[in-house]
Amino acid sequence: MGSGEWGKDPFPIPHCLLFSEESATMKTATQCVHFDSNDDPHCSISPPIYQTATFRQPTADEFGEYDYTRSGNPTRSLVERQIARLEGAEYACAFASGMAAITALTRLVGAGCEIIAGDDLYGGTVRLLDQILPRQGIGVRYVDVTDVDAVREALNPRVKLILIETPSNPTMRIADIRALARVAREAGALLAVDNSMLSPCFQQPLKLGVDIVVHSATKFLCGHSDVTGGALVVNDYDLNRQIAFQQNAEGAGLSPFDSWLLLRGMKTLSLRVERQNESARKIAEFLSRHRAVDRVYYPGLADHPGHEIHRSQSKGDGAVISFTTGDVDVSRQVVEATRLFDIAVSFGSVGSTISLPCRMSHASIPQALRERLAPPPDLVRISVGIEDVDDLIEDLSQAFALAARREDAISAACAV
């Protein structure tokens, strides 16, 4: 501080941000930028990275708030509070990956019990449910969760957990969150919603009656392709204690450095998803008009079968769009001909990506379940980033044109 005329110490009160009571009324963009509390003694605006394994104890049998980073770490606690706050929830636990979070979730179900899962889930989730859980004596049934009656019929007293995605990945089917929450509560089962596709800026499932929100923080929450992480978010104190117990017992908590990167990424969450949402709407409209496109899967389009339910429970449609071309070779060529869309698994980053889920993110679905659960082979999934939308549409146009020329050349060659 310089030598001003205001005296040596014009600001005697440490100016740290402590506004828990204001937090409830803050708007989302403000919540993204400001962390709930900052008790750092140096008032550092960017929170410290507590890259430490252990914490000194006051005496041999007394523990401070933290003792060992597997059990708890201040940087991780901060990101957990921030995720909970954005979901409008009480508690969150952060994990080393989305799958580590889902694994902890399934630990709430004991041997001899059952899980009902949506029949259009991420391939990695299906792999866990199908190849790991049966070994522990947990039964899994896949149900079309867009049909509330089908879920009701599938319930029995052994069912402890219903796990859904809405919009689902990659076919963007919409489940009625409020109705499923009622059905689950009547049956005494927990309802978990994977909210990775929309982020809390657009959908807050806990406010719709859900028990647990699941996140792959790798996606929109982080948004910069630099963190692999996950989270479970709840309002119930005991449920959070059970999850935190799992986090510690199995050692799957998010590392301090990744927690810090995630905190940094989430500062622009609202800004990013608003832009991505707007660009995705334009791209979905472009795709629906394109003659090479057979069908567009995007809940923001009025002709999407789940459009009305989606709009009743969400404030945005998200940045992931799937489409089919009717021909797996054409789809493949489109994927490979784009220049701005990186061919990559995952979604939700600032950079646009494109993929053929059947061969990529959903290739881990076991052969036996393929026919029922795998996305169509010609389905292309794009995740719209924050590039200029005209650049993105131009890139897709040239990719379609190139794919069409190659197809023409191939048919000409075959005719000869």
Site string for another protein, 210-239 (x = CB under 8 A): --------------xxx-------------
Selected binder of another protein within 57, 391, 401, 405 (CB under 8 A) = 391
Token pair 């899994």 is found at 140
Radius of gyration of the chain (CA): 23
For the chain, helix (H) and strand (E) counts, in that order, are: 14, 12
Strands 320-324 and 379-383: antiparallel
Interface region with another protein, contact rule CB under 8 A, candidates 53-61, 146-154, 212-220, 338-346? 338-346
3 binds another protein (CB under 8 A): yes
What is the set of active-site residues?
Answer: 70, 122, 194, 219
Do the Cβ atoms of 407 and 399 come closer than 8 Å?
A: no
Interface region with another protein, contact rule CB under 8 A, candidates 160-168, 266-274, 297-305, 406-414? 266-274
23 binds another protein (CB under 8 A): no
Distances (CA, A) of 233 to 17, 132, 169, 314: 24, 23, 20, 18
267 binds another protein (CB under 8 A): yes
Nearer CB in complex with another protein: 11/237? 11
Selected binder of another protein within 20, 24, 30, 186 (CB under 8 A) = 30
329 binds another protein (CB under 8 A): no
Rounded distance between C-alpha atoms, residue 236 and residue 248, angstroms: 18
How many residues bind another protein (CB under 8 A)? The answer is 44
Do the Cβ atoms of 346 and 221 come closer than 8 Å?
A: no
Q: Is the alpha carbon torsion for 139, 146, 86, 126 positive or negative?
A: positive
List the interface residues with another protein, window 130-189 (CB under 8 A).
Answer: none
Nearer CB in complex with another protein: 46/411? 46
Selected binder of another protein within 40, 278, 342, 407 (CB under 8 A) = 342
Give min distance, CB of 5 to another protein, in A.
6
Nearer CB in complex with another protein: 173/381? 381
11 binds another protein (CB under 8 A): yes
39 binds another protein (CB under 8 A): no
Instruction: Give the helix, strand, coil percentages of the chain, each rounded to 5.
Output: 40, 15, 45
> Degrees (nearest 5) of the Cα angle 407, 412, 416?
145
Do the Cβ atoms of 348 and 218 come closer than 8 Å?
A: yes
Interface region with another protein, contact rule CB under 8 A, candidates 25-33, 111-119, 232-240, 319-327? 25-33
Rounded distance between C-alpha atoms, residue 83 and residue 348, angstroms: 16
For 196-217, b/e burial (b = at least 16 CB within 10 A) is bbbbbbbbbbbebebbbbbbbb
Q: Residues in the site for another protein, rule: CB under 8 A? A: 1-6, 10-11, 13, 15, 17, 19, 22, 26-30, 32-34, 45-46, 224-226, 264, 267-268, 271-272, 275, 340, 342, 344, 349-351, 385-388, 390-391
